């Protein structure tokens, strides 16, 4: 027999249990909101895009992707980190395009092979042409285009 002498008041007991559950759930939910929110929030923050200089037009050879390393200083939690992004600048005719060098398969860094005139990924054999289109291998999509503009022969890319 339970050591309970208020057994007669079963409805009251049920009510109390619901109140207890609600209050504890409320405290737990408040803590979960604050701690969970603070833990999750930075995951969804995005850096503002910046236009960074990436050399000048006369430096580029016709039809040959030129890899340019961009340094992006950004605040990283409490500290600062310099990200290095490599983009290919490709001049064909008068047109200029900038391609992100990150392989669209699993994110490895591709490199331009001057012998085959193709952009190759060292990880799983993805191959792209100089316009970034997939020639062979597993990449699901062409290399990402990076917005680019030219001001008085100075090349600016948006990263």
Rounded to the nearest whole angstrom, what is the least distance from the CB of residue 143 to other proteins in the complex?
Answer: 24
Token pair in block for residue 55: 């050399």
Rounded to the nearest whole angstrom, what is the least distance from the CB of residue 86 to other proteins in the complex?
Answer: 18
Beta carbon nearer to other proteins, 81 or 113: 81
Beta carbon nearer to other proteins, 36 or 63: 36
* Chain residues that interact with other proteins, rule: CB under 8 A: 2-6, 13, 16-17, 19-20, 23-24, 26-27, 30-31, 33-35, 37-39, 41-42, 48, 50-52, 72-73, 75, 77-80
Rounded distance, CA 56 to CA 74, Å? Answer: 24
Rounded distance, CA 50 to CA 47, Å? Answer: 9
Q: Residue 40 in 3-state DSSP?
A: helix
Beta carbon nearer to other proteins, 29 or 135: 29
DSSP secondary-structure letter at 78? T
Alpha carbons within 13 A on the beta-carbon side of 158: 9
Beta carbon nearer to other proteins, 33 or 109: 33
Rounded to the nearest whole angstrom, what is the least distance from the CB of residue 6 to other proteins in the complex?
Answer: 6
Helix (H) or strand (E) holding 11: helix 10-40
């Amino acid at each position: 027999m339970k050591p309970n002498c208020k057994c007669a008041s079963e409805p009251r007991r049920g009510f109390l249990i619901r109140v207890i559950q609600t209050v504890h759930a409320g405290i737990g939910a408040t803590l979960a909101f604050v701690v969970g929110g603070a833990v999750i929030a930075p995951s969804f923050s995005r850096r503002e895009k910046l236009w960074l200089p990436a050399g000048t037009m006369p430096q580029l050879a016709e039809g040959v992707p030129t890899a340019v390393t961009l340094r992006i200083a950004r605040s990283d939690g409490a500290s600062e980190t310099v990200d290095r992004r490599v983009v290919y600048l490709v001049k064909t005719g008068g047109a200029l395009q900038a391609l992100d060098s990150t392989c669209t398969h699993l994110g490895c860094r591709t490199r331009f092979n001057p012998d085959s005139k193709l952009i190759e990924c060292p990880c799983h054999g993805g191959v792209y042409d100089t316009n970034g289109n997939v020639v062979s291998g597993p990449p699901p999509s062409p290399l990402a285009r990076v917005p680019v503009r030219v001001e008085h022969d100075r090349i600016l890319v948006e990263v």
